[in-house]
Amino acid sequence: MLSFYPGPSKVHPEALGFIQEAFSNGVVSINHRSERFEVLLKDTLQILHEKWNIPQDYTLYFISSATEAWEIVAQSLIKEKSLHLYNGAFGKKWAHYTQQIIPNAHSSEFGLNEDLKSVAPTLSTKDFDTICLVQSETSNGTGQTICRSDFDLKEDAIIAVDATSTMGGINLPWLEADVWFASVQKCIGIPAGLGVLICSPKALERAAQLNKKVHYNDVLLMEENRKLFQTHYTPNVLSIYVLNKLAHLLPNLAVIDQQTWEKASILTDFFSNANSFHLSFLIENPLLRLPTVFALQGETEQIKRLQHLCLKNNIELGKGYGKWKDNTIRIANFPSHTLEDFSQLINLINA
Ligand SMILES: *Cc1c(COP(=O)(O)O)cnc(C)c1O
């Protein structure tokens, strides 16, 4: 089955060999306080920094998921007032869960065809100590440009960004935010069960200032462990191993970024022209469409017919999310998806 679901999605085919290797060399059974693990973690952090062009003073942590990252931001980093800006289901959920922890978490929903640059000046962003943004809103396929100067902020305010369906697939402007996170089963292309959290020195300063340390996954405890090349709990060592091997194998993110946009433009060209399923883009403004998740809308009957045709041909498309469940489909364009995969899909739709 070829999966274009925007997560869990197609896994890099090479992952299978790495998983087998981890069994045969015993990595699947190593202790996370052992020297062997420390060597693996150190190398993984190093290769990800290098291949993803992450600033040296930003630190990387392995957690269980993007959902856990929402909670970590709320529990270790928000001082007392956060502002959540979103236009889709994931941003909304993040705001909702934060409100259970931070009574002063505010949220503001904006339109599908609006960008942060025009939304930010309409809000009194200076009142907040933490701004929570969704760079890749997987539910509707919108992508935002993250830029600090779009926001009028207090000196010590931090920005946290959910980049779950773009991290590992496009260049991200790391310096424009203090916290970035993603789960691995989307753009990163390995089986679910691991999350990546990246923090700026300013985010660590915030954690130190709040000095909470009341949760096992407090940023400060994660940082204490990272310094020893360990983790704050027994992590998904198998996934860290697979991620390590893939990071060594794949080219620099700048190259992957180009490939992602090239594949995206093929898909955009195809769906911009008439197709037998009468699909059109859910997001009208091309600049706000994610290159990694295409959301296409159509009549419910056509959507059903297309889903059915694909399943019959061993291809899985993403269903619509939430209120777009019946009248949209989503197609992932992650680094694991090849030009051949898209030819197969396009040929099938054209047939
Ligand atoms: C999938 C997704 C999440 C949740 O990921 P989990 O691995 O289920 O925690 C959060 N945010 C966005 C934007 C997502 O696409």
> Distance (Å, rounded) from C-alpha 262 to C-alpha 348?
20
* 3-state SS, residue 85: strand
Task: Give nearest CA residue, ligand 1 atom 12.
Answer: 164
Q: Is the CB of 5 under 6 A from ligand 1?
A: no
Q: Which atom of ligand 1 has the smallest separation from the CA of 69? A: 9
Complete DSSP assignment for 207-267: HHHH----STT-HHHHHHHHHTT--SS---HHHHHHHHHHHHHS--HHHHHHHHHHHHHHH
309 and 329 Cβ atoms separated by less than 8 Å: no
CB of 66 sitting under 6 A from ligand 1: yes
Q: Which CATH class is domain 14-249?
A: alpha beta
138 lines ligand 1 (CB under 6 A): yes
Which token pair is 82? 């956060």
Q: Are 22 and 28 in contact (CB under 8 A)?
A: yes
71, 47 in Cβ contact below 8 A? no
What does the DSSP 8-state code read for residue 191?
-
Listed as own residue / partner, the contacts of 343-349 with beta carbons closer than 8 Å and 24 or more positions apart are 344/2, 344/315, 345/2, 345/4, 345/310, 345/315, 346/266, 346/270, 348/309, 348/310, 348/313, 348/315, 349/270, 349/275, 349/276, 349/277, 349/306, 349/309
Report whether residue 183 contacts ligand 1, using a CB cutoff of 6 Å.
yes
Is ligand 1 within 6 A of the CB of residue 65? yes
Q: How far is the CA of 217 from the centre of ligand 1 (A)?
A: 18
Round to whole Å and give the CA distance between 290 and 165.
Answer: 9
Among 9, 63, 67, 330, name the best residue to mutate to test ligand 1's pocket (greatest count of ligand atoms within 8 A of Cβ).
67
How confident is the prediction along the chain (351 residues), in pLDDT tens digits per residue? 999 999 999 999 999 999 999 999 999 999 999 999 999 999 999 999 999 999 999 999 999 999 999 999 999 999 999 999 999 999 999 999 999 999 999 999 999 999 999 999 999 999 999 999 999 999 999 999 999 999 999 999 999 999 999 999 999 999 999 999 999 999 999 999 999 999 999 999 999 999 999 999 999 999 999 999 999 999 999 999 999 999 999 999 999 999 999 999 999 999 998 788 999 999 999 999 999 999 999 999 999 999 999 999 999 999 999 889 999 999 999 999 999 999 999 999 988
Which residues of the chain form CATH 3.90.1150.10?
Answer: 2-8+252-350
Angle (CA) 174-178-179 rounded to 5° is 90
Mutate to test the pocket of ligand 1, among 68, 73, 138, 184 (most ligand atoms within 8 A of CB): 138
What's CA 172's distance to the chain center, in Å? 11
Atom of ligand 1 nearest to the CA of 134: 13
CATH number of 2-8+252-350: 3.90.1150.10
Judge if the beta carbon of residue 139 lies within 6 A of ligand 1: no
CA distance 329 to 304: 9
CB of residue 162 inside a 6 A radius of ligand 1 = yes
CA–CA separation, 40 and 30 (whole Å): 11
d(C-alpha 214, C-alpha 279), whole Å: 50
Helix 35-51 and helix 237-249, axial crossing angle in degrees, nearest 10:
40
Alpha carbon distance 139, 143 (integer Å) = 11
Q: What is the pTM of this model?
A: 0.98
Q: What's the start-to-end Cα distance of the chain, in Å?
A: 19
Residue 274: per-residue pLDDT? 78
In the chain, CATH 3.40.640.10 sits at 14-249
CA 336 to each of CA 6, 130, 205, 281, 332: distance values in angstroms, whole numbers, following the listed order: 11, 34, 36, 23, 10
Q: For residue range 263-294, what is the model confidence (pLDDT) as tens digits? A: 999 999 999 987 889 999 999 999 999 999 99
How far, in Å, from the CA of 165 to the mean position of ligand 1?
A: 8
C-alpha 181 to ligand 1 mean position (Å): 9
Distance CA 249, CA 238 (A): 17
3-class SS at 322? helix
